[in-house]
């Protein structure tokens, strides 16, 4: 009897220990009692009733990533391309996620594919290639609204790759190459234009500087000539002044010596002789000097006799 009680006690302990559940952080357990939803366990220690309660589903509450395979999509201008998408989603209601839809990830993938086809179908090829942000935001809004009954919140949608047909890729590569060559030609032409402008401006500056130098040289030369003439005139004025002073000094000395009339006559003749030594062809002789000259001739004749 004692062994039976021990065995029963061990069985009870094992049942209690085996039905203790510890829910880790960022996870939730969906509990069913007799096949019906009972509760959602959050983080912590929980105990379920053996044979009555069971953990129907363990759900991760962390943000998850779903990378879907490329899907064929036809644009508005009838170009078929392959587009693969990446979804970032989070489970916000474990109960709805468990009972809202069967295979929710598969459903999310199919919903993403159909939504992508609907959005890209209204865009042309060029718009699709340049409007990724528009497509991403529009898909996120549509998917987030559609997945609310499933307990899923779509946080972000990204178009991972857009793969157009091979011939379209070749045409795009040729277009990009032509555009790069055009930009290179434009840049080269702009560089040559700027270089020519700089050369012309340099030549213009050189001509202006040369003209300015010639102007300054002419001004300095004129000032030098003017200065030389001024100095020459000043020299002549000084010489004339010296001559006049010497003449005045001679006259003063002559007056102080009380010269006789004969001496004055001789000085007049000397002055006349100096005047006659010039290059003038005509000389006007005052009557007084003529009389003196006749007197001098008569004296000379008497002396000779």
- Whether residue 303 is predicted with pLDDT greater than 50 in this model: the reply is no
pLDDT score recorded for residue 24: 92
- Whether residue 298 is predicted with pLDDT greater than 50 in this model: the reply is no
Greatest mean pLDDT among 8-22, 31-45, 273-287 lies in 31-45
- Whether residue 118 is predicted with pLDDT greater than 50 in this model: the reply is yes
Helices 261-276 and 287-304 sit at what angle, rounded to 10 degrees? 100
Q: What percent of the chain has pLDDT over 90?
A: 30
User: What is the 8-class DSSP label of residue 196?
Assistant: H
pLDDT bin (cut points 50, 70, 90) of residue 116 is very high
pLDDT score recorded for residue 165: 81
pLDDT score recorded for residue 77: 86
pTM: 0.55
Determine how many CB atoms are found less than 10 A away from the CB of residue 142: 19
pLDDT score recorded for residue 300: 45
85 close to 115: Cβ distance less than 8 angstroms: no
What's the pLDDT tens digit per position in 155-169? 999 998 888 888 877
pLDDT bin (cut points 50, 70, 90) of residue 301 is very low
60 close to 26: Cβ distance less than 8 angstroms: yes
What's the pLDDT tens digit per position in 44-81? 999 888 889 999 999 999 999 999 888 899 888 888 88
User: What is the 8-class DSSP label of residue 1?
Assistant: -
| Calpha distance 165→20 (Å, rounded) | 58
269 close to 297: Cβ distance less than 8 angstroms: no
Mean residue pLDDT of the chain comes to 82
* Token representation of residue 289: 């000097």
Give the helix ranges, DSSP H, for 100-165: 104-120, 125-130, 132-146
Of the candidates 145, 126, 176, 155, the one whose C-alpha atom is nearest the C-alpha of residue 63 is: 155
Lowest mean pLDDT among 147-156, 265-274, 280-289: 280-289
| Calpha distance 179→177 (Å, rounded) | 5
pLDDT score recorded for residue 7: 83
For 143, counting Cβ atoms within 10 Å of its Cβ (0-12 exposed, 13-18 middle, 19+ buried), the class is buried
Element (H, E) at 159: strand 152-163
**CATH number for the domain running over 64-164:** 3.30.479.30
Place of tokens 């006559």: 265
Choose between 180 and 272: higher pLDDT. Answer: 180
| Calpha distance 4→6 (Å, rounded) | 5
Average pLDDT over residues 134-147: 93
pLDDT score recorded for residue 156: 94
Determine how many CB atoms are found less than 10 A away from the CB of residue 99: 15
């Amino acid at each position: 009897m004692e062994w039976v009680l021990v065995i029963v006690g061990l069985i009870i302990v094992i049942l209690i220990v085996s039905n203790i559940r510890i829910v880790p952080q960022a996870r939730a357990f969906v509990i069913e009692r007799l096949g019906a939803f009972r509760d959602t366990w959050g983080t912590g220690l929980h105990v379920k009733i053996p044979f009555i309660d069971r953990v129907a589903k363990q759900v991760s509450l962390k943000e998850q990533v779903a990378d879907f395979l490329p899907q064929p999509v036809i644009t508005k201008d009838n170009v078929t391309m392959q587009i693969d998408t990446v979804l970032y989603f989070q489970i916000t209601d474990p109960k709805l996620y468990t009972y809202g839809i069967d295979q929710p990830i598969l459903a999310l993938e199919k919903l993403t594919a159909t939504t992508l086809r609907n959005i890209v179908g209204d865009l042309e090829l060029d718009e699709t290639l340049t409007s990724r942000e528009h497509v991403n935001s529009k898909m996120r809004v549509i998917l987030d609204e559609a997945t609310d009954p499933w307990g899923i919140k779509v946080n972000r949608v990204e178009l991972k790759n857009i793969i157009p047909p091979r011939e379209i890729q070749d045409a795009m590569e040729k277009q990009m190459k032509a555009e790069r060559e055009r930009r290179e030609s434009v840049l080269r032409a702009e560089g040559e234009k700027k270089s020519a402008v700089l050369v012309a401006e340099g030549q213009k500056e050189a001509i202006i500087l040369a003209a300015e130098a010639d102007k300054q040289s002419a001004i300095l030369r004129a000032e030098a000539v003017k200065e030389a003439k001024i100095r020459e005139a000043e020299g002549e004025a000084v010489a004339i002044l010296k001559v006049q002073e010497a003449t005045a000094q001679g006259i003063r000395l002559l007056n102080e010596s009380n010269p006789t009339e004969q001496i004055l006559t001789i000085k007049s003749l000397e002055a006349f002789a100096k005047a006659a030594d010039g290059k003038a062809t005509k000389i006007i002789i005052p009557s007084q000097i003529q009389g003196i000259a006749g007197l001098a001739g008569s004296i000379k004749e008497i002396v000779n006799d």
